[in-house]
Amino acid sequence: MISFKYRDYLQGAAINAKNPERTRLRLKIATAQVLELKDYHSMSVHDICEQSGVSRPAFYAHFSNKEDIVVELISELSELERQLMPALTGAEEPFDAWTQIARWYVTFAYQNRELWHNSRRLEDTIPEIDRIADRRSEQLKRHIFSLLQSHFDAEEIDDRLGVILDVVGAGITRLVRLIGSQRYDAEVIASEDLEPLIELVALMFYRGMYGKNPDGELLTTTRSLLDYKLK
């Protein structure tokens, strides 16, 4: 599986970084690590300093508080997500394109699920994170719209796309949250085999966009869902 994990990108950047940037990166890496074990409200500056090996005075030389560092993490995570969006290479028909988009979206969300989970829980309490979420939503819609327009006839990509991305995106978010919980199939978690979920998401996108099913030959794990009637 391709690594889309934000913490890996931070660790790569820290290898050749020099102080004070290296210390700042160490603090961000440690924060991401702590948030894999605790939620935002349980995490303390002490936890971050202990994980990073950086002193409290050094922490406060870079960040005002834990909110400050988490806002920076979420902002950079959102930007990395946009930068890693696929170019739809080899997509000969819409379902292939949706599958590539779904693979990127689900894999990125899965590998960064702890940060996204905390981000969504903080949208109502930290205004800047709420603004980041709004910008992310609009950026992703525009980028996906542009990608699809560049590959298919304009009439195939109409104004339903924004609504579909909102509705289907909410469903995907719910599925990704289940992946990060104990309730999702343990064997899928262990193997990191996300292909069934990716195909399901692509099918949701396609059906929402075109009001019909793709060719059944394109499906491997969700073919039985074609029997469900569209409303």
CATH no. for residue 59? 1.10.10
Q: CB under 8 Å to 100, separation ≥6 — which residues?
A: 86, 88, 89, 91
Q: What is the DSSP letter of 155?
A: G
The pTM for the full model equals: 0.79
Residue 75 lies in a domain: no
Domain count for the chain: 2
For the stretch 163-219, pLDDT in tens is 666 666 666 666 655 555 544 444 444 445 788 888 888 888 787 777 788 887 777
Tokens of 159: 């104004």
Which range of residues forms the domain containing residue 39? 6-65
CA 14 – CA 21 distance, rounded (Å): 8
* Same-domain check for residues 44 and 141: no
Is 32 in the same domain as 132?
A: no
130 burial (CB, 10 Å; 0-12 / 13-18 / 19+) is middle
Task: Take residue 110 and report the two structure tokens written for it.
Answer: 């899965």
pLDDT tens-digit map of 60-85: 999 999 999 999 999 999 989 888 88
84 to 55, 59, 117, 211, 227: CA distances (angstroms):
34, 30, 20, 29, 34
CA atoms within 13 A on the CB side of 183: 5
In this structure, the answer to whether residues 198 and 95 fall within a common structural domain is yes
